[in-house]
Structure 1
Amino acid sequence: MSASDVQTVETSPFSSSFPLPYRVLIITTIGLWAWGSNMQILSWVSIDVQALLTGGQKKNSPHRPIYKLALFMSIWVWINLLVYWKTEGSTSITLLCYLFVFLIVLCPFNILCKNERMRFIRCFHRVIFSGLDSDVYFCDKILADIMTSYAKVFGDLYVTMCILFIYNEGPIGDKYYSYVIAPLFTSIPYFIRFKQCIAVYLHSKDPKNTGREHLFNALKYCSAFPVILFSALQKWYKTDEVAISAEYWITPSTIFNLWIIAVAVNSIYSFYWDVAIDWKLSFFTPPGFKLRQHLRFENSIYYIAIILNFLLRFTWSLKLSSHLHIINHLEPSVFLMECLEVTRRWIWIFFKFESEAAEINKDPYIPLHNTSS
Structure 2
Amino acid sequence: MDGDPAVESELDSFSLTFPLPYRVGFIITLAVWGWGINLHHLYNLKIDVPSLIRYPARSSVHHAPHHFSTYRLATVLSSLFGVSIVLFWLFTWRIPARVIAYDWLPLTYLVALVAVFIVPIQDLPSHGRRRFLATLRRVSIGGIAEAADGKFGDILLADVLTSYAKVFGDLFVTLCMFLKPEGSSTKRPDRNCGGLVIVPLLMALPSLIRFRQCLIEYLRVRRAPYKESTGWGGQHLANALKYSSAFPVIIFSTLQRNSSDPAAKAALNKAWLVAVLANSLYSFYWDVTKDWDLTLFLSKKERTAHTHPFGLRDRLIMRPVSLYYVVIVMDLMLRCTWSMKLSPHLDKFTDFESGIFLIEVLEVFRRWVWIFFRVETESIRQTPAGLGADDILLGNYHDNDDDEDDEV
Q: TM-score, normalised by structure 2?
A: 0.81
Gaps of 5+ in 2: 93-97, 304-309, 391-408
Deviates more, 1:319-328 or 1:276-285: 319-328
Which residue pairs with 1:219 in the alignment? 241
Match of 1:135 among 146, 149, 155: 146
Aligned residue pairs, count: 354
CA deviation digits over 1:10-53, x for unaligned, max 9? 24101221111111111111111111111111111110001011
Using the alignment, how far apart are the partners of 2:202 and 2:155 within structure 1? Answer: 19
Using the alignment, how far apart are the partners of 1:157 and 1:9 within structure 2? Answer: 22
Map 1:119-198; keep pairs closer than 5 Å. 119-129=131-141, 131=143, 135=146, 137-167=151-181, 168-169=183-184, 170-171=187-188, 173=190, 176-198=193-215
Using the alignment, how far apart are the partners of 2:211 and 2:323 within structure 1? Answer: 30
Using the alignment, how far apart are the partners of 1:171 and 1:302 within structure 2? Answer: 40
Match of 2:107 among 84, 87, 95: 95
CA deviation digits over 1:156-206, x for unaligned, max 9? 111011123335244474765342101100111101111111111111134
Identify if the C-alpha distance between structure 1 residues 10 and 139 changes in structure 2 by more than 3 Å, giving closer, same or farther.
same
* Equivalent residues of 1:8, 1:328 under 8 A apart: no
CA deviation digits over 1:245-273, x for unaligned, max 9? xx68x700011001100000000000000
Q: TM-score, normalised by structure 1?
A: 0.88
Using the alignment, how far apart are the partners of 2:289 and 2:143 within structure 1? Answer: 28
Which residue pairs with 1:228 in the alignment? 250
Using the alignment, how far apart are the partners of 2:349 and 2:12 within structure 1? Answer: 10
Gaps of 5+ in 1: 238-242, 369-373
1:280: Cα distance to partner? Answer: 0.4
Using the alignment, how far apart are the partners of 1:131 and 1:62 within structure 2? Answer: 25
Query: What letter is aligned with 1:366?
Result: G
Match of 1:283 among 277, 288, 296: 296
CA deviation digits over 1:263-296, x for unaligned, max 9? 0000000000000000001111232442111110
1:105: Cα distance to partner? Answer: 1.3
Deviates more, 1:77-86 or 1:340-349: 77-86
Residue 272 in 1 paired to residue 276 in 2? no
CA deviation digits over 1:54-103, x for unaligned, max 9? 25336742111111121211221122122223243211112211221222
User: Higher Cα Rg: structure 1 or 2?
Assistant: 2
* Relative contact order higher in (CA < 8 Å, ≥ 6 apart): 1
RMSD: 2.5
* Equivalent residues of 1:227, 1:321 under 8 A apart: yes
CA deviation digits over 1:109-135, x for unaligned, max 9? 544221221111011011123658x63
* Equivalent residues of 1:34, 1:346 under 8 A apart: yes
